[in-house]
A and B are shown apart, each in its own frame.
Chain A
Amino acid sequence: GAGVSQSPRYKVAKRGQDVALRCDPISGHVSLFWYQQALGQGPEFLTYFQNEAQLDKSGLPSDRFFAERPEGSVSTLKIQRTQQEDSAVYLCASSLFNGPDRHSYEQYFGPGTRLTVT
């Protein structure tokens, strides 16, 4: 079946512009995660949704970052007034999350969006 898809794959923004990054999770997956990955580092947790509910947004670096998943499927990560330090790969992952079955917590990643702020 189709995996997680993200768009755009590459985005170049001038400093101060707003950007919106889209994630289409695997069909039927309840949980959706956003991560930020800088070069040479592991993914850094940004936020987590269970269906349409944003249960954890502790990783969002500032109030310029906002994520939503209004219908419990597609999610959008929005970054307002982009700064150079926002340049990174933004990864989306989804998991089935089927209660007590721990294997359903396994996360599957999309290809990422590489954001470059000039």
Chain B
Amino acid sequence: QKEVEQNSGPLSVPEGAIASLNCTYSDRGSQSFFWYRQYSGKSPELIMSIYSNGDKEDGRFTAQLNKASQYVSLLIRDSQPSDSATYLCAVNGATGGFKTIFGAGTRLFVKA
């Protein structure tokens, strides 16, 4: 079992729709959770961080964390073609360390 798992996709949604991206993690001691966006040929760019159970909203993005289910999600409302990228889920703080584990990423295509 991978430590951080994501559907590889591709996930295809029409412009204006809600894109839902999911991530599960295996270490219950994990403390910090991040979503990064990575365009092809570019480096990861932080878009959301979440540390406690519940929802966190920032503009068109909402991150959701459920530690009991070891599940993190990212919702993108009013998806735009410019949102087309790979979205990486990252988890750290397990067992008190700073080692950060990334998922393999979900490719999102937003069709105009």
Is there an interface contact between B46 and A108, defined as CB atoms closer than 8 Å?
Answer: yes
How many whole Å from B101's CB to the nearest CB in chain A? 7
Complex CA–CA separation, A106 to B44 (angstroms):
12
Is there an interface contact between A45 and B43, defined as CB atoms closer than 8 Å?
Answer: no
CB closest residue in chain A, given B8: A40
- Does B75 have its Cβ within 8 Å of any Cβ on chain A? no
Q: Which of A50, A59, A105 contacts B99 (CB 8 A)?
A: A59
Is there an interface contact between B34 and A42, defined as CB atoms closer than 8 Å?
Answer: no
The verdict on A31 contacting B49 (CB below 8 Å), with A105-B32, A109-B44, A112-B43 known, is: no
How many interface residues does B have (CB within 8 Å)?
25
Is there an interface contact between B88 and A106, defined as CB atoms closer than 8 Å?
Answer: no
Chain B residues, CB < 8 A from A72: none
- Does A48 have its Cβ within 8 Å of any Cβ on chain B? yes
Complex CA–CA separation, A107 to B92 (angstroms):
11
Q: Which of A31, A106, A112 contacts B34 (CB 8 A)?
A: A106
CB closest residue in chain A, given B102: A42
A contact set with B: CB distance below 8 Å: 31, 33, 35, 40-45, 48, 50, 55-56, 58-59, 91, 102-103, 105-112
B contact set with A: CB distance below 8 Å: 4, 31-32, 34, 36, 42-46, 49, 51, 88, 90, 92-93, 97-105
- 7 A–B contact pairs at CB < 8 A? A42-B102, A42-B105, A45-B99, A102-B49, A105-B98, A107-B100, A109-B44
